[in-house]
C-alpha cells in the first residue's frame, strides 16, 4: 500500500532557530501534500495544502512566513518552522495523495517538535 515517510520523528531545537521537516511519498507520486499540526488532546488542524511546483495554500490564521512549505518534486515536501518559539511546540503530520479520484490520503507518522 501507499507509504508516506516523515523525518525526523522528533526534534528539539532552541528558541529562535529554524527546523525543517521532510515528508516523502515512497511508492507513489504525490501531486498534493498536506501539513497538519496537532496539540495535546486536540484534533489535527490543517495548516496548508501544497501542490507540486506551485505555492502552498495556507489555511486561515496560519502564518505563511513562519511555516515555509516547499513541494519541489512529486515525492517530497518540506515544512520549515522559522524562528521557532516554545508555542510552536507541537506534533506536525504530513499527508499525501496522488490526486486520483478515490485513491485516498496517506499520512506520515508525525514529527514531535519541542522548542526550548
Partner 1 sequence: DAKTTQPPSMDCAEGRAANLPCNHSTISGNEYVYWYRQIHSQGPQYIIHGLKNNETNEMASLIITEDRKSSTLILPHATLRDTAVYYCIEEQGAQKLVFGQGTRLTINP
| Contacts to partner 1 by CB under 8 A | 4, 6, 32, 34, 36, 43-46, 49, 91, 93, 95, 101-102, 104-110, 112
Give CA–CA dist 39/96, Å, rounded.
Answer: 21
User: Is the CB of residue 19 less than 8 Å from the CB of residue 5?
Assistant: no
Minimum Å distance from CB 37 to partner 1?
Answer: 11
Residue number, 82 or 91, with CB nearest to partner 1: 91
Q: Is 83 left (phi over 0), alpha (psi -120 to 50) or beta?
A: left
Q: Which is nearer to partner 1, 33 or 84 (CB)?
A: 33
Amino acid at each position: 500500500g501507499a507509504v508516506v515517510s516523515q523525518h525526523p520523528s522528533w526534534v528539539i531545537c532552541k528558541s529562535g532557530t529554524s527546523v525543517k521537516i521532510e515528508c516523502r511519498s515512497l511508492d507513489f507520486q504525490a501531486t498534493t501534500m498536506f501539513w497538519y499540526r496537532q496539540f495535546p488532546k486536540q484534533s489535527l488542524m490543517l495548516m496548508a495544502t501544497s501542490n507540486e511546483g506551485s505555492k502552498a495554500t495556507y489555511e486561515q490564521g496560519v502564518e505563511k512566513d513562519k511555516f515555509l512549505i516547499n513541494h519541489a518534486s512529486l515525492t517530497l515536501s518540506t515544512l520549515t518552522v522559522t524562528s521557532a518559539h516554545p508555542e510552536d511546540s507541537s506534533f506536525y503530520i504530513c499527508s499525501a495523495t496522488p490526486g486520483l479520484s478515490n485513491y485516498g490520503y496517506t499520512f506520515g507518522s508525525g514529527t514531535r517538535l519541542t522548542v526550548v
